[in-house]
Amino acid sequence: MRAAGGRALPAADTRADGERNMSRARVVRSQPRPGRPAGLGSLAVIIPTYNTGATVPSVLASLIASAGDLISEILVIDNASTDGTAQTVARIVAEDPAMSGKVVVTSNPRNLGYGGSIKRGLAETTGRFDLVAVLHSDDQCDAGATLLTLLSGMAEDPATDVVLASRFTRGADLERYSALRRAGNGFFNTLTRLVSGYPMSDAGTAIMVARTSVLAGLPTESLTSGYRFHPQLNLLLYGDGRLTIREVPLEWHDASLGNRFSLTVYGLRLLKMLTVFGWRRRVRRWSLADAVIAAEPPPD
């Protein structure tokens, strides 16, 4: 494993500077040729789990089969599952030499929220690895192929800080994703673009790879611990003029286990987040970080 190097970000704008600094990230859309890029440095993959004991074994198998040699560590963060997910993972890891030593399972003492798990994963990987990827433990995409697409995007240009997998860019495949979810995400993409002015093709995507040195310079621990962690993080990324973001296409479909949360509640909270962000950032001209954090503060 290599010590994390990479580039450190220059200081972010302060609240006073926020008024002047309304720059945004450089965004590149690409369709990288699928490959197995080498030389990107050490890579950790964070996989949050919650009652996904039925699907996480195939996610891990796919990652190991397609990209095992490119991955330094897979960190499974179990969010107090009640179906024995953590035990299932521990068992398959113990039985499979390709996973032992590479897959680490950690259990939250209680359910810390989706964002709470991701924040824990980022805290545990920053400074130890060059890159960190976030993938999910259900079966909404082919984990191994998706990781290779993300890494191919990162390899296209060494100036890239973050690669986001987008459901709404050329080459994405949503054929098996419900029309309701496509429409809901499409609506929020349009709204987010209008409110923020950022050219985001998929404002809510959670599937990404980033340089840990870059994430270390951002106030990710102050973001929400709830489901809107990624919509909030994405605002922080796209609004940051120091960053280069690549968007690569994602193949995404409905989960076999079905979805477990209310789209209405999620949508209303997202609406509130965008309203507060737009007001603070564009009208009151707060700094990017202050406006993003105010949009949905973390729990005390």
Ligand X SMILES: Nc1nc2c(ncn2[C@@H]2O[C@H](COP(=O)(O)OP(=O)(O)O)[C@@H](O)[C@H]2O)c(=O)[nH]1
State the residues that interact with ligand X by CB under 6 A: 48-50, 52, 79, 111, 114, 117, 136-138, 140, 206, 255, 259-261
Q: How far is the CB of 177 from Mg ion (least distance, A)?
A: 11
Nearer to ligand X, 42 or 185 (CB): 185
Q: How far is the CB of 23 from Mg ion (least distance, A)?
A: 33
CA distances in angstroms from 128 to 34, 131, 211, 214, listed in the order given = 27, 9, 11, 13
Nearer to Mg ion, 140 or 185 (CB): 140
Q: From residue 227 to residue 266, what is the string marking binding to Mg ion with x (rule CB under 5 A)?
A: ----------------------------x-----------
Q: Which does 114 bind (CB under 5 to 8 A by kind): ligand X, Mg ion, none?
A: ligand X
Could you tell me the two tokens for 33? 């040729």
Nearer to ligand X, 21 or 87 (CB): 87
Q: Which does 117 bind (CB under 5 to 8 A by kind): ligand X, Mg ion, none?
A: ligand X
CA distances in angstroms from 88 to 57, 149, 187, listed in the order given = 8, 28, 38
Neighbour-count burial for 112-140, b at 16+ CB within 10 Å, e otherwise: bbbbbbbbbbbebbbebbbbbbbbbbbbb
Nearer to ligand X, 2 or 91 (CB): 91
Q: How far is the CB of 17 from ligand X (least distance, A)?
A: 34
> How far apart (Å, rounded) are the C-alpha atoms in residues 75 and 48?
8
> How far apart (Å, rounded) are the C-alpha atoms in residues 151 and 146?
9
Using DSSP's 3-state secondary structure scheme, residue 65 falls into helix
Q: Which does 172 bind (CB under 5 to 8 A by kind): ligand X, Mg ion, none?
A: none
Using DSSP's 3-state secondary structure scheme, residue 157 falls into coil
Nearer to Mg ion, 9 or 255 (CB): 255
Q: How far is the CB of 117 from ligand X (least distance, A)?
A: 5
By CB neighbour count within 10 A (0-12 exposed, 13-18 middle, 19+ buried), where does 150 fall? Answer: buried
Closest CA to 277 of 205, 164, 197, 220: 197
Residue with the shortest CB distance to ligand X: 50
* The Cα angle at residue 146 between residues 240 and 95, in degrees rounded to 5: 120
Say whether residue 138 binds Mg ion (CB under 5 A). yes
DSSP state of 282: I
Q: From residue 140 to residue 159, what is the string marking binding to Mg ion with x (rule CB under 5 A)?
A: x-------------------
Residues that bind Mg ion (CB under 5 A): 138, 140, 255
